């Protein structure tokens, strides 16, 4: 009886272990796990590139490959104000910060004029956090069941945008604003919602019926996007 009970317990433990192994083996991050502690991107013109960058020879790697100073300089206020939505986004990926290669990360600096907006967009391959460095920014995302999760953030506050969900950032303060964002992929992708809908040569009837608007409104919206068909 004792041996039978012991065998049954061991069998249960084995089944649980196998199930857990199968579950976790199918859990993946946005990017594959690196095969080495680091792989500094080889940005030389003749370096092969398939998915990501080839590794720079270890003997050529230095500390500067892991340090990025491009966010130090403040953006010109006039340039920010003249940007189409009053916001400028600087991206730091492996192309300018070689040490990021294979680490599954991208950094960004966002500079906002008063009233500046980073419009509704998604990153299909990454989750994202946004840390307010200066100012007051209204940020939020929309879930798959059409619920808005949004808040007004102050300096030092941080928000999470789940992977692939539409999100936005709007400066609602009376001064310029800055945010630093981290994305969980070195190639997060970017889909600007309005541009995705109104810039391509999408049949007007599709847009009309999707949004419940008439042909004249569709035409007007399409004409507001440079390079529209």
Task: Give the residue ranges of the annotated binding site for oxalate.
Answer: 123, 128
Mean pLDDT by 10 residues, the chain (229 residues): 55 47 47 79 77 88 98 91 96 97 96 98 97 99 97 99 98 98 96 90 91 92 73
Return the DSSP state at 41.
B
Task: Give the residue ranges of the annotated binding site for Mn(2+).
Answer: 121, 123, 128, 167
Task: Give the residue ranges of the annotated binding site.
Answer: 121, 123, 128, 167
Return the DSSP state at 164.
T
Report the side by side order of strands in the sheet with 87-92. Answer: 87-92, 106-112, 177-183, 128-134, 158-161
Residue 134: CB atoms within 10 Å: 17
pLDDT at 26: 45
pLDDT at 182: 99
* Helix, strand, or coil (residue 33): coil
Q: What does the alpha-carbon distance between residue 18 and residue 118 come to, in Å, rounded to a whole number?
A: 46
pLDDT at 27: 43
Q: In order of start, what are the domains of the chain with their CATH numbers?
A: 63-69+76-191 (2.60.120.10), 199-229 (no CATH)
């Amino acid at each position: 009886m004792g041996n039978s009970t012991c065998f049954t317990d061991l069998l249960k433990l084995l089944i649980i272990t196998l199930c857990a192994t199968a579950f976790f083996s199918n859990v993946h991050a946005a990017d594959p796990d690196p095969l080495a502690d680091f792989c500094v991107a080889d940005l030389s013109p003749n370096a092969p590139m398939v998915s990501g960058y080839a590794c720079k020879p270890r003997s050529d790697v230095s500390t500067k490959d892991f340090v990025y100073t491009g966010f130090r300089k403040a953006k010109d206020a006039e340039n920010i104000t003249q940007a189409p939505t009053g916001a400028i986004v600087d991206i730091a990926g492996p192309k300018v910060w070689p040490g990021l290669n294979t680490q599954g990360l991208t950094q960004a600096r966002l500079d906002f004029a008063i009233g500046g907006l980073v419009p509704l967009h998604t990153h299909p391959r990454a989750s994202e956090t946004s840390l307010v460095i200066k100012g007051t920014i209204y940020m939020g995302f929309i879930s798959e069941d059409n619920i808005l999760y949004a808040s007004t953030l102050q300096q030092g506050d941080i928000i999470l945008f789940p992977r692939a969900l539409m999100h936005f950032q709007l400066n609602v303060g009376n001064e310029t604003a800055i945010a630093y964002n981290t994305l969980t992929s070195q190639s997060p992708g970017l889909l600007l919602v309005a541009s995705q809908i109104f810039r391509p040569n999408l049949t007007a009837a599709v847009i009309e019926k999707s949004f419940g608007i008439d042909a004249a409104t569709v035409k007007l919206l399409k004409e507001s996007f440079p390079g529209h068909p």
